[in-house]
């Protein structure tokens, strides 16, 4: 969605559909404390967690790779990447006044502790075109076990269905 907003901000026409997965919009209140997270960690401050806090956050969200972070060599490589990913997501603020003109599909996991259906539905506010929400089985990392369903949904939304052909009268 950021790329589509950037294109619109430059006056370019955007064709196709924007897809959003597993994240709240920045229309939501910026500071909310989750009950399962330490009280001093705000939703927009995860990137500031120490080197034990980031893996703990991944575990809270249902991440399966947290055991790999027990290896000090891998931890040294992976934690800066994770921290920068969180920083990018948490510090992004959309340009005000730019509404998308393309349809938007949001996809979330049905037991994602990070985003609710109500929060995901707020993405409808960013477009003047049709919006739909697809809820798939899984947690915040539903994309991994639901890969085939996600790809099928994206393809279904992007590739128009073939037009029905009418056949002329049959000839013997």
Of 32-41, 77-86, 118-127, 129-138, minimum mean pLDDT range = 32-41
Element (H, E) at 18: strand 18-21
pLDDT per position as a tens digit, 35-55: 333 333 445 687 788 888 888
Mean pLDDT taken over the chain: 74
Q: What percent of the chain has pLDDT over 90?
A: 17
Q: Which residue from 5, 7, 35 is spatially nearest to 114, judged by alpha carbons?
A: 35
Which single residue is written with the structure tokens 């985003």?
115
Confidence of residue 100 (pLDDT cuts 50, 70, 90): confident
In a domain, 101, yes or no: yes
Of 91, 110, 137, the position where a domain reaches its end is 91
In a domain, 152, yes or no: yes
**DSSP string of 82-150?**
HHHHHHHHHH--PPTT--B-S-EEEEEETT-SS--HHHHHGGGGGBSS-EEEEEESSSTTTTTTTHHHH
141: which 2 tokens?
A: 């990392």
Are 155 and 100 in a shared domain? Answer: yes
Specify the DSSP class assigned to residue 33: -
In a domain, 171, yes or no: no
For residues 90-99, average pLDDT = 78
Are 22 and 46 in a shared domain? Answer: no
Are 55 and 40 in a shared domain? Answer: yes
In a domain, 172, yes or no: no
pTM of the model: 0.61
Q: Residue 111: which CATH number?
A: 3.40.50.1820
Structural domain that includes position 143: 1-26+95-159
Whether residue 126 contacts residue 138, with contact meaning beta carbons closer than 8 Å, is answered with no
For the chain, how many structural domains are there in total? 2
């Amino acid at each position: 969605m950021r790329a589509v907003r950037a294109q619109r901000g430059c006056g370019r026409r955007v064709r196709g559909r924007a897809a959003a997965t597993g994240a709240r919009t920045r229309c939501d209140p910026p500071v909310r404390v989750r009950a399962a997270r330490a009280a001093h960690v705000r939703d927009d401050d995860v990137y500031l967690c120490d080197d034990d806090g980031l893996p703990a956050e991944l575990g809270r969200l249902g991440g399966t790779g947290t055991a790999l972070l027990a290896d000090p060599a891998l931890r040294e490589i992976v934690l800066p990447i994770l921290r920068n990913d969180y920083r990018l997501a948490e510090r992004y603020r959309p340009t005000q006044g730019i509404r998308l003109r393309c349809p938007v599909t949001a996809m979330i996991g049905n037991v994602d502790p990070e985003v609710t259906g109500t929060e995901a539905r707020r993405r409808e506010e960013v477009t003047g075109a049709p919006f739909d929400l697809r809820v798939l089985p899984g947690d915040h990392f539903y994309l991994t076990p639901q890969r085939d369903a996600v790809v099928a949904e994206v393809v279904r939304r992007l590739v128009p269905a073939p037009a029905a052909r009418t056949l002329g009268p049959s000839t013997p």
